[in-house]
Amino acid sequence: MKWLRGAVLGAGLFWALAGLQAAHGAEKYPVKPILCIVGVEAGGDGDVLVRPIMERVSKALGQPIVIVNKPGGGSSIAYREIHAARPDGYTIGWGSATIITNKLQGVSPLDYHDFTHLGAYATFFPIVIASTKSKVQFKTIQEAIAYAKANPGKLNMSTAGVGQSWWVAAMSLLGGTGLNMNTVPQPGAGALVVAQVAGGHAELGVAALGSAKSMVDAGQVRFLATLGEGRAPAPYDKIPTVRELGYDVSWESTNFFMGPPKLPKPIVAILVKAIEQAAKDPEYVKFAVDRNTRWEYIPPEEVTPRFDKRRVAVREIMRKAGILKEVK
């Protein structure tokens, strides 16, 4: 029986040591490079914002962070890979408003509820622009709304492709204001919309500030209003949001970080602290604002409630448009 007691004691010692080593390993996280999967192409708006913030997170954690671009399918390819990764903290990823729209359009069974949130840090927002060459022109959003109400179906509004994020913004504008305009969807989400408006082919358009900025500054289109929840940064901060005028209208695309489901809490705490510190770095804040975003740090626990509100709005928009194909 002595050998049995020895074996039991030996096994107990082995598992105790293994537990201590595991705990010690968790305390030392991270001990190897981390992958950050980004669902847009290198050089895209989201990618440009990810790289400098991950450089700062890398310094804080003391390990390299490798950016892996996985564009395609409205970023759904990247989302699937992040979701399927081992929950060990060595694969994290970027997300945007497509995490909401993909599931509603039937592109993916995943949405923001299926991941571990690590915090959000910057928001792209759409704006309403007006032509300076069209037969009917507007200097303010109030003028445009008043004319559209008095002349239903007379104005053309250039939008992103059906189902895309800035198309949702345009539909939110029409639905929230009760306006009737001819929407003219364009391939892509920015340059073609601005070109249509600048050329006078559409009186109005909805595009990202970044896409329209050069034409706005050159006076070829007018910046009438912001469709986000807050105003644009200076020098455009005197231009109102549509919501300020009393209409329940807003849509925007928040950039955030996430990990696979069931990421251990100690690892989450380490990542969240590093990401928050990086996102609040004054140099990064300036970098983000200079790239035509509204900077804001949103802690992980606030991300899902915010997205839940946006999902309600976009689901109704897609239902009315006949493109709701929500994956169960």
Q: Quick one: 119 and 131 in the same domain?
A: no
Q: Quick one: 139 and 221 in the same domain?
A: yes
Q: Quick one: 137 and 189 in the same domain?
A: yes
Task: Classify strands 126-131 and 204-208 as parallel, antiparallel or unpaired.
Answer: antiparallel
Inside any domain, residue 7 = no
Q: Quick one: 313 and 229 in the same domain?
A: no
Inside any domain, residue 296 = yes
Q: Quick one: 259 and 115 in the same domain?
A: yes
Please give the average per-residue pLDDT across 92-100, as a whole number.
95
Expressed as residue numbers, the domain containing 284 is 32-123+252-321
Look at residues 303, 299, 278 and name the one whose alpha carbon lies nearest to residue 49.
Answer: 278
Q: Find the helix or strand (DSSP H, E) in which 139 lies.
A: none
Interval 295-317: pLDDT, tens: 989 999 999 999 999 999 889 88
* Alpha helix ranges (H) inside 126-236: 141-150, 165-177, 191-198, 209-217
Amino acid identity at 62? G
User: DSSP assignment, residue 293?
Assistant: -
pTM beyond 0.85: the answer is: no
The DSSP line for 234-266 is TTSTTSPBTGGGT------EEEEEEE-TT--HH
Inside any domain, residue 19 = no
Query: Residue 324: exposed, middle, or buried by beta-carbon count in 10 A (0-12, 13-18, 19+)?
Result: middle
Tell me the CATH number at 156. Answer: 3.40.190.10
- Could you tell me which residue, 180 or 163, shows the higher pLDDT? 180
Number of domains in the chain: 2
- Rounded to whole angstroms, the Cα distance separating 258 from 307 reads 14
pLDDT band at 264 (very low <50, low <70, confident <90, very high): very high
